[in-house]
Amino acid sequence: MFSQFDTDMMSRAIDLAKRGVYTTAPNPNVGCVITQGDDIVGEGFHFRAGEPHAEVFALRAAGEKANGAIAYVTLEPCSHFGRTPPCADALIAANVSRVVCAMVDPNPNVAGRGIQRLRDAGIQVDVGLLQPQAEALNPGFIKVMKTGMPYVQLKLAASLDGRTALANGKSQWITGPEARADVQVFRAKAGAVLSTSQTVLDDNPSLNVRWEQFPLDVQADYDIKTLRQPIRVILDTDAKVKIDAQLFSLDGEVLLVTATPQAVSLGDDVEVIQVNRQGNGLDLSATLRALASKGINHIWVEAGATLAGSLLNADLVDELIVYQAPKLMGQDARALANFGGLTAMEQVPSFDLTDVCQIGNDVRLRMKKQ
């Protein structure tokens, strides 16, 4: 069904889609290439929610050359009116002859409708080219559409013996500056950075994206004015966080999740979500579902061993990212994750190792849930 030229063009569309990874949330990353014969006559990618989609930019670039052309799109063209008109209608109006989609829209309410609209207009539509690569562009968007739950990445920094802090709580810094800069990249791709009130009280972190720590190659492709700050989400069961915490003085939205909203006194600028207690903390599954309902598809978690253990124990972690430093901290240091009660190996949270790389003097391990 697909030629090598088709594959090359879709690969180009996927590369274009990646240029929106720091800016498009909560919308998916999408790229589009339009060709006439062997020539690319238009291309584009979705940059920001509320702005034109990839197909619109590509059609604008192609102009009249879109007539009879082939459009390669990493995601099924939308068929509904949102903040922008349907892209399927724009392709029909441009009189393209064929549309190649990497994947169907995962939204069950619209899946396949854009494809059908194109086919009803007499346009040939072929689906499934480089689908795994296209799916990898938007794990959060896909998971929320299919399950109502966000994609959760849990970040941990540990010594060789799996310790995250000394017995007195000191942990700055286990890893080197290169690893901490790498964390900025992951934060910037997420819809939200999630932590706990205990982390705020202990470390007074900013939890924001710091442009000056971005890798130089990323800085070369983006302007600081276009950088999107992810929402900072603080789990604060008993409303312990105070307004003088550093994160409230910085740009970007802060959202507080608590079981005691009546005790929160942070002003009108901080949105509060109430979630019921579960054990000594919050119902984490309900918390994640509530965040997804707010349009947060992808969550980057930075917290201590208690939340890490609770998320792992509840099977709520999709991807585990561990920065391991060539240091030994001893048996009195704090563990990587606090959870217990396991009596059989079948109960142990297991992950598939997907990537290992050296970051400065540290090693980064990426693992996905089996």
What residue numbers bound the domain in which 78 lies? 4-135
Surface-to-core class of residue 49, CB atoms within 10 Å of its CB (0-12 exposed, 13-18 middle, 19+ buried):
middle
Number of domains in the chain: 2
Partner residues linked to 257 by β-bridges:
235, 273
Predicted pLDDT of residue 155: 96
Task: Give the CB-side neighbour count of residue 166, counting CA atoms within 13 A.
Answer: 7
Distance CA 297, CA 230 (A): 11
Task: Looking at the structure, tell me whether residues 20 and 169 fall in a common domain.
Answer: no
Q: Where are the beta strands (DSSP E) in the chain?
A: 31-36, 39-45, 70-73, 98-101, 124-127, 151-158, 163-165, 192-196, 231-235, 254-258, 271-274, 277-278, 281-282, 298-302, 319-324, 334-335, 351-359, 362-369
Max CA separation in the chain (angstroms): 70
Task: Looking at the structure, tell me whether residues 336 and 231 fall in a common domain.
Answer: yes
Residue among 21, 19, 318 at smallest CA distance from 146: 318
Residue among 317, 256, 241, 332 at smallest CA distance from 285: 317
Task: Looking at the structure, tell me whether residues 302 and 230 fall in a common domain.
Answer: yes
Task: Looking at the structure, tell me whether residues 183 and 148 fall in a common domain.
Answer: yes
Predicted pLDDT of residue 257: 96
Q: Which conformational region is residue 169 in: left (phi greater than 0), alpha (psi within -120 to 50 degrees), or beta?
A: left
Predicted pLDDT of residue 226: 74
Distance CA 281, CA 235 (A): 9
Looking at 135, 156, 174, the residue that finishes a domain is 135
pLDDT in tens, the chain (370 residues): 899 999 999 999 999 999 999 999 899 999 999 999 999 999 999 998 888 899 999 999 999 999 999 999 999 998 876 666 789 999 999 999 999 999 999 988 788 999 999 999 999 999 999 999 999 999 999 999 999 999 999 999 999 998 988 888 777 788 999 999 999 999 999 999 999 999 999 889 999 998 888 777 777 777 777 778 899 999 999 999 999 899 998 888 999 999 998 888 887 788 999 999 998 899 999 999 999 999 999 999 998 889 999 999 999 999 999 999 999 988 888 888 888 787 888 888 889 999 999 999 999 999 999 8
Distance CA 248, CA 204 (A): 10
Task: Looking at the structure, tell me whether residues 127 and 153 fall in a common domain.
Answer: no
pTM, rounded to two decimals: 0.92
Task: Looking at the structure, tell me whether residues 52 and 98 fall in a common domain.
Answer: yes
Contacts of residue 279, defined as CB under 8 A and 6 or more positions apart, other chains included, come to: none
Per-residue CA distances from 150 to 165, 319, 349 (Å):
28, 12, 19
Task: Give the CB-side neighbour count of residue 83, counting CA atoms within 13 A.
Answer: 8
Task: Looking at the structure, tell me whether residues 148 and 122 fall in a common domain.
Answer: no
Predicted pLDDT of residue 141: 96
Predicted pLDDT of residue 341: 80
Task: Looking at the structure, tell me whether residues 22 and 96 fall in a common domain.
Answer: yes
Looking at 88, 120, 135, the residue that finishes a domain is 135
DSSP letter at 85? -
Looking at 74, 104, 135, the residue that finishes a domain is 135
Predicted pLDDT of residue 84: 67
Told to judge if 212 belongs to the known catalytic residues of this protein, a careful annotator would answer no
CATH number of the domain encompassing residue 27: 3.40.140.10
Task: Looking at the structure, tell me whether residues 122 and 161 fall in a common domain.
Answer: no
CATH number of the domain encompassing residue 152: 3.40.430.10
Task: Looking at the structure, tell me whether residues 175 and 215 fall in a common domain.
Answer: yes
Predicted pLDDT of residue 332: 87
Predicted pLDDT of residue 82: 65
- Write down the catalytic residue from 55, 76, 302, 319: 55
Distance CA 312, CA 207 (A): 22
Task: Looking at the structure, tell me whether residues 95 and 206 fall in a common domain.
Answer: no
Residue among 238, 183, 223, 224 at smallest CA distance from 207: 183
Task: Give the CB-side neighbour count of residue 228, counting CA atoms within 13 A.
Answer: 20
Predicted pLDDT of residue 322: 96
Task: Looking at the structure, tell me whether residues 149 and 200 fall in a common domain.
Answer: yes
